[in-house]
Each structure stands twice: as C-alpha cells, then as structure tokens.
Amino acid sequence: MILAFLVISMGISVLWLDIPIHITIVFSAAFAVLVLMIQGCKWDDISEAIVYGGKLAPPILVLYVIGLLMGSWIASGTVPIIIYWGLKLINSTIFLATSCVV
C-alpha cells in the first residue's frame, strides 16, 4: 500500500500537478509513518528504522536535504533576490576578483 501510494502520487505530481518530486517523497514518508502507526508500531521503533535507513545511505540523504533546501529557496524567492542584488552590487569589471574573494 505504501509503495503504491508512492508510485501513484509521484505519477500524479509529475505528470499533472507539476510538483517537485521532493515534496511527493516527503508526503510518501509521512504516509508510511501514518500507516505504521495505525498498524500499531511504536514511534520509537519507527524512528529507529528511520535512523538505520539514514545510516545506510548518508550521501543520498545529504543530497536530498540540499535539494529540499534549494527548492524552498527558489520557491520563496531567496535565490532570485540574491542574483538580483548580486548583479546590482558587483560591477562587471571587478566580477572575477570579487568571485575569488567570495
């Protein structure tokens, strides 16, 4: 049931709703936790399994978190405003020197 929810929600979000895949995966993880809690699993067991899964693939987890962070920054307008003000404040003649300093 959890895998079917993941596949169906990913298909709907990508094909029809045009939602980033990260959001769908987070909702699928929340759905999995909800289903496990309804079946009677204790939160300690669930959190232990999450930590164990995180230990198996830390680079994937880091890339996932970075993707979530960048997606939220782009959606909230942080990245566009940094680009806008960066281009306003940094003169093109000193761009190379400024980028080396940064």
Q: Where are the domains of the chain?
A: 2-56
Chain mean pLDDT for the chain: 81
**Residue 22 scores a pLDDT above 80:** no
> Residue 22's closest CA among 63, 81, 50, 59?
63
CA distance 43 to 49: 10
pLDDT of residue 40: 84
For residue range 28-77, what is the model confidence (pLDDT) as tens digits?
A: 888 888 888 888 888 888 888 878 877 777 777 788 788 888 888 888 88
pLDDT of residue 26: 81
pLDDT of residue 75: 84
Rg of the chain (C-alpha set):
20
Contacts of 19 (CB under 8 A, 6+ apart): 13
If you average pLDDT over residues 66-92, what whole number do you get? 84
> Residue 27's closest CA among 68, 76, 70?
68
pTM: 0.49
Alpha-carbon dihedral angle through residues 48, 49, 55, 58, given to the nearest 10 degrees: -120
Contacts of 79 (CB under 8 A, 6+ apart): 70, 73
* Helix residue ranges per DSSP H, the chain: 2-12, 21-38, 43-56, 58-76, 78-89, 95-101
